Amino acid sequence: MSDYYEILGVSRDATQEEIKKAYRRLARELHPDVADGPEEAERFKDVSRAYDVLSNPEKRRDYDLGGRGTGNPMGGAGAGFGFSDIFETFFGAATGAQRGPTPRARRGQDALVRIDIDLADAAFGATRDLQVDTAVVCSTCHGTCCRPGTSPRTCDVCGGRGSVQRVARSFLGQVMTTSPCAACHGFGTVIADPCPECSGEGRVRTRRTITVDVPAGVESGTRIKLTGQGEVGPGGGPAGDLYVEVRERAHALFTRRGDDLHCAVQLPMTAAALGTVLTVETLDGVRDLDVKPGTQPNEVLTLKGLGVGHLHASGRGDLHVHVDVQVPSRLDPEQERLLRDLAVLRGEERPEPRLAPAHAGVFARLRDRFAGR
Domain edges within the chain: 4-91, 255-370
Sheet holding 260-268, edge to edge: 255-257, 260-268, 319-326, 300-303
- Number of CB atoms found within 10 A of residue 109's CB: 14
Question: Which residues on adjacent β-strands are paired with residue 165?
Answer: 178
Q: How confident is the model at residue 72 (pLDDT cuts 50, 70, 90)?
A: very low
Lowest pLDDT segment from 94-98, 311-315, 366-370: 94-98
- Residue 76 pLDDT greater than 90, yes or no: no
Burial code of 25-63, b = ≥16 C-beta within 10 A, e = fewer? Answer: ebbeebbeeeeeeeeeeebbebbbbbbbbbbbeebbeeb
User: What are the angstrom distances between the C-alpha of 218 and each of 115, 213, 226, 318?
Assistant: 12, 11, 15, 16
Mean pLDDT score across all residues of the chain: 85
- Residue 93 pLDDT greater than 90, yes or no: no
Per-residue pLDDT tens for 148-194? 999 999 999 999 999 988 876 665 567 777 888 989 999 999 999 99
Per-residue pLDDT tens for 301-355? 999 999 999 998 999 999 999 999 999 989 999 999 999 999 899 888 887 777 7
pLDDT at 69: 53
Query: What is the rounded CA–CA span in Å between residue 362 and residue 216?
Result: 26
- Residues in CB range of 314: below 8 A, 6 or more apart: none
Provide the CATH topology of domain 4-91.
Helix Hairpins (1.10.287)
Query: What is the rounded CA–CA span in Å between residue 95 and residue 223?
Result: 44
pLDDT at 210: 94
Q: How confident is the model at residue 43 (pLDDT cuts 50, 70, 90)?
A: confident
Lowest pLDDT segment from 111-120, 323-332, 355-364: 355-364
Lowest pLDDT segment from 77-86, 127-136, 269-278, 293-302: 77-86
Burial (0-12, 13-18, 19+ Cβ within 10 Å), 228: exposed
- Residue 272 pLDDT greater than 80, yes or no: yes
Architecture of domain 255-370: Sandwich (2.60)
pLDDT at 1: 52
